[in-house]
Amino acid sequence: MDLFKREPVAQPLAARLRPENLDEYVGQQHLLARGKPLREALEQGALHSMVFWGPPGVGKTTLARLLAKVSDAHFETISAVLSGVKEIRQAVEVAKQQAAQYGRKTILFVDEVHRFNKSQQDAFLPYVEDGTLIFIGATTENPSFELNNALLSRARVYVLKGLDEAALRQLANRALHESRGLGALRLTLPEESLAILIAAADGDGRRLLNLLENAADLLEAGQEIAPELLQNLLGDSRRRFDKGGEAFYDQISALHKSVRGSNPDAALYWFARMLDGGCDPLYIARRVVRMASEEVGNADPRALDLCLSAWEVQERLGSPEGELAVAQAIVYLACAPKSNAVYSAFNAARRDVADNGSHEVPLHLRNAPTRLMKELGYGEEYRYAHDEPDAYAAGEDYFPEAMEPRRYYQPAPRGLESKIRDKLEHLAQLDRDSPRQRRKP
């Protein structure tokens, strides 16, 4: 008896269930249904370099392996987390040997490709360009931000989506009944348990299979996978949410746009989603303060005070008490009259400053704390508004002499800004009627 003989390590369920052909592949029908361009290209053997962009557990690695199998290409894989230029060069040498000895193409699959720096990404380019390698990268991050333009121009980006309920059901059914899955255990999965699995997977097929496998490890053959067992396994699990990645920015964008669209219910949903994903409530509170100025502005100035108060409550009380105050502020913003007039005016003023150089301050607007400054004309002819009728110096010009007066701020006809609009129009009429007007705005 060989005491040192090692038993083969059992593969995880997700690895055992990898599809052997395109028809067994679950999900991504927008790319792989019959008649779709990617499916047609694969079946005709017309491989090209590509990037798979999508959330975890949707089949990026599996699809790359299938492409190699369908096209009879050699498959090399490296992880950008563990590899560098050395491993890229080794893969290139293997690709050259495969081409020389067997006449086979080589697919180099790079997982987490966004983790490669610029020089590492550049190392692919010559070999992708001359056809030595067919490059397939997988990333959970937006390729537009994470990959070099030179690499992107040589690879087509395919967006993979989270698995929908039908795809997750199909995957669970295969896991329970196929012999290479859990079929030998003859486990049963009631509808309530399946619903828990699908919700917990949140579009991630690998997570669903891992949960099923964990449950199966605790059961005997023929038993039922009860809802209580799954709840115990899940504990305080979180939905998919990357605090620095695509999901993070997508969800804060959805929250902001729901507020802008005056939909308090959708805004609350995205707020809850971000909290559920583990987002820091203080981050959301800060963003909500920004929304008060950008989306509501002077249409309801109370919104800014309320949002600042909510931020302070979150800082002082923490969670969960503070989150209710932030939720109150979000609902108020969504229901408030909307105006981006201040936001637009500020941006326009900044563009003018950037484009027009450093104009001198007109002499009549300069401060004159010394006799020399007064002798030079600083502050001369300045009109003190409080001494004028209605405390307004009609016709006065406050812009640099080299600039024509501008109208940046255009109040919206909503909320308090409708009254501000009337006030500014009245003042503009006073300017037009004033004999002392320097220039017409």
36 and 155 together in one domain: yes
Q: Does the pLDDT of residue 6 top 60, yes or no?
A: no
pLDDT, tens digit, 9 for 90 and up, residues 269-279: 999 988 887 88
CATH of the domain at 390: 1.10.3710
Q: Does the pLDDT of residue 236 top 60, yes or no?
A: no
Least confident of 67-71, 167-171, 190-194, 304-308: 67-71
**Mean pLDDT, all residues of the chain:** 85
Judged by DSSP in three states, 52 sits in strand
H-state helical runs in 217-368: 227-234, 246-260, 264-276, 281-291, 302-317, 321-335, 341-356
Average pLDDT over residues 411-422: 92
Least confident of 37-46, 133-142, 367-376: 37-46
Judged by DSSP in three states, 157 sits in strand
In a domain, 330, yes or no: yes
196 and 290 together in one domain: no
Give the tokens for residue 349.
Answer: 């003023």
The domain boundary residue, chosen from 335, 365, 392:
335
Measure the CA–CA gap between 311 and 285, rounded to whole angstroms. 5
257 and 229 together in one domain: no
Predicted local distance difference test score (pLDDT) of residue 237: 57
How far, CA to CA in Å, does 274 sit from each of 153, 249, 253? 34, 10, 11
321 and 251 together in one domain: yes
Measure the CA–CA gap between 367 and 159, rounded to whole angstroms. 60
360 and 424 together in one domain: yes
In a domain, 375, yes or no: yes
| Res. 242 pLDDT band, cuts 50 70 90 | low
The domain boundary residue, chosen from 234, 256, 275:
234
124 and 55 together in one domain: yes
In a domain, 253, yes or no: yes
Predicted local distance difference test score (pLDDT) of residue 90: 86
Measure the CA–CA gap between 56 and 33, rounded to whole angstroms. 21
Predicted local distance difference test score (pLDDT) of residue 440: 45
pLDDT, tens digit, 9 for 90 and up, residues 174-212: 999 888 888 888 888 999 999 888 888 888 898 899 889
Give the tokens for residue 66.
Answer: 């299938």
pLDDT, tens digit, 9 for 90 and up, residues 422-440: 999 999 999 888 877 655 4
155 and 34 together in one domain: yes
pLDDT, tens digit, 9 for 90 and up, residues 203-231: 889 889 988 998 888 888 888 898 888 88
| Res. 241 pLDDT band, cuts 50 70 90 | low
In a domain, 199, yes or no: yes
Domain count, the chain: 4
Average pLDDT over residues 12-29: 86
Most confident of 22-26, 28-32, 61-65, 309-313: 309-313
Give the tokens for residue 111.
Answer: 């997982």
260 and 327 together in one domain: yes
Sign of torsion, CA 323 324 329 334?
A: positive
Give the tokens for residue 271.
Answer: 């707020």
Predicted local distance difference test score (pLDDT) of residue 81: 79
SS3 content of the chain, % helix, strand, coil (to 5): 55, 5, 40
Most confident of 121-125, 277-281, 325-329: 325-329
155 and 198 together in one domain: no
302 and 321 together in one domain: yes
441, 398 in Cβ contact below 8 A? no
Least confident of 4-13, 35-44, 218-227: 4-13
Domain that holds residue 94: 28-159
Higher-scoring residue by pLDDT: 379, 309: 309
Q: Does the pLDDT of residue 244 top 70, yes or no?
A: no
Measure the CA–CA gap between 429 and 412, rounded to whole angstroms. 19
Considering only CA atoms, which of 309, 284, 296 is closest in space to residue 259?
A: 296
314, 328 in Cβ contact below 8 A? no
255, 219 in Cβ contact below 8 A? no
Determine which helix (DSSP H) or strand (DSSP E) holds 158, and give its type and residue range.
Answer: strand 156-159
Average pLDDT over residues 383-407: 87
Residue showing tokens 């486990």: 187
Predicted local distance difference test score (pLDDT) of residue 5: 46
Considering only CA atoms, which of 411, 12, 354 is closest in space to residue 180?
A: 12
Sign of torsion, CA 275 277 283 289?
A: negative
Higher-scoring residue by pLDDT: 441, 249: 249
